[in-house]
Amino acid sequence: HGIQALVLRYRLLPRHSLEDALADLEAAVSLVRQYKDGPVAAVGFSAGGHLVASLSLRLAKRDRPTGGYPLDAQVLVYPCIDSSGWGKPGEAGFWDPACHEKASSLLEGQQSLLGGRGFAAPPSFLVGSTGDAVCPAKVHTDPYAEALCRRGIAHEYIRGNLGEHGFGLDPCWSSAALHWLRQRGFGKKSPSRSWAGCRLKTRLQTGL
């Protein structure tokens, strides 16, 4: 489709915190901009959606974000937005209760992520399923979409019974997401440096 894609292997709990993962994501986006002209978007699934959505909050805390916000768009697919239970032993889902202290780092800025003071986001494409028992749309994606509406941030929201958590790149949303990205300037040819022979240092794997 003419859109170059990369996979980020970011640092994970329990050895690392959300701040470490966000640093990896921000560094990766900055690196991509060095090699590719044009808009840059991040796609996050589940907990990865939490990470992508948190990036704008991280930069909004700075008095003057370097170069502005790094993302021109974001795609959040069955994202875990509300992490209120992650820092509680016994309620941390798949987290080992022994690492709940590190999981608590995910709670920083939680109210902002749910639309409170400090909320920030680029144009967004959201996907939420009413059949998702892990990250139900009404708990995670609905509040985020409402926050985007209140702030007047451009977005599109695909919502319905799309199946259980982890339905992946289902055509029911991926085709619409591709169209949305193209409308925002993605996929158009632009001069860029080649990735061939480039040894990346931030856990990136190239792909198309």
Q: DSSP assignment, residue 96? A: -
Total domains in the fold of the chain: 1
Instruction: Round the CA-based radius of gyration of the chain to a whole number and report it.
Output: 17
Cis peptide before 143 (omega within 30 of 0): no
Distance from C-alpha of 19 to C-alpha of 193, rounded to nearest angstrom: 30
The residue segments making up the domain with residue 137 are: 5-207
Residue count (the chain) = 208
Instruction: Determine how β-strand 155-160 pairs with β-strand 73-77.
Output: unpaired
Three-state SS letters, 26-40: HHHHHHHHHHECCCC
CATH number for 47:
3.40.50.1820
The answer to whether 143 touches 82, Cβ cutoff 8 Å, is yes
Mean pLDDT by 10 residues, the chain (208 residues): 89 81 93 88 95 87 59 96 69 54 61 83 96 94 96 96 91 94 82 41 33
The residues, any chain, with a CB within 8 Å of residue 120's CB and separated by 6 or more, are 56, 57, 59, 60, 69, 112
Hey, which bits of the chain come out as E strands?
5-8, 41-45, 73-77, 124-129, 155-160, 204-207
